Amino acid sequence: MNWIMFTRTRISAFFIRCFLTLSLVPAQSLAVTGAKADELTFNLRIERGQLPANMRLIRVKQGDVVKLRWSSDRSIALHLHGYDIERKIEPGAVAEMSFTARATGRFPVQEHQSQSGGGHTHGAPIVQVEVLPR
């Protein structure tokens, strides 16, 4: 009888330890993903179809609220791939792309160039937005 009680106690203790360990896993993952998101604004000036070299890669973290504020010396239509945001920028005006960085990876912003047949092509990337995991 003592052996049976001893075995039951060990089994119960084992299950309690497993339960406590597993119940802490979601709390730990919440602590990692619950990190405070930043609100980031980037003022981007396109001249002759390009940004300055030091502005061609923008790094943010997943969950950040990002604002890309565009100005240009000529009319240009831009497309942020992966987030499917398009904006037309006119000289002398500021156009804004705002989004929450949910998807991770590198996402190019490219010029949409109209074609005579009604479609469009993409120019070389003007900037890459890199979203890093939090």
Q: 12-47 pLDDT, tens per residue?
A: 554 445 444 444 444 333 344 567 899 999 999 999
DSSP per-residue codes, the chain: -HHHHHHHHHHHHHHHHHHHHHHHHHHHHHHHHTSPPPEEEEEEEEBTTB--GGGSEEEEETT-EEEEEEEESS-EEEEETTTTEEEEE-TT--EEEEEE--S-EEEEEEEEEE-TTS-EEEEEEEEEEEEE--
| Domain spans of the chain, in order of start | 1-34, 39-132
Q: Tell whether the model's pLDDT for residue 3 goes beyond 90.
A: no
pLDDT tens, 99-112?
A: 999 999 999 999 98
What fold characterizes domain 39-132? Immunoglobulin-like (2.60.40)
Specify the pTM. Answer: 0.70
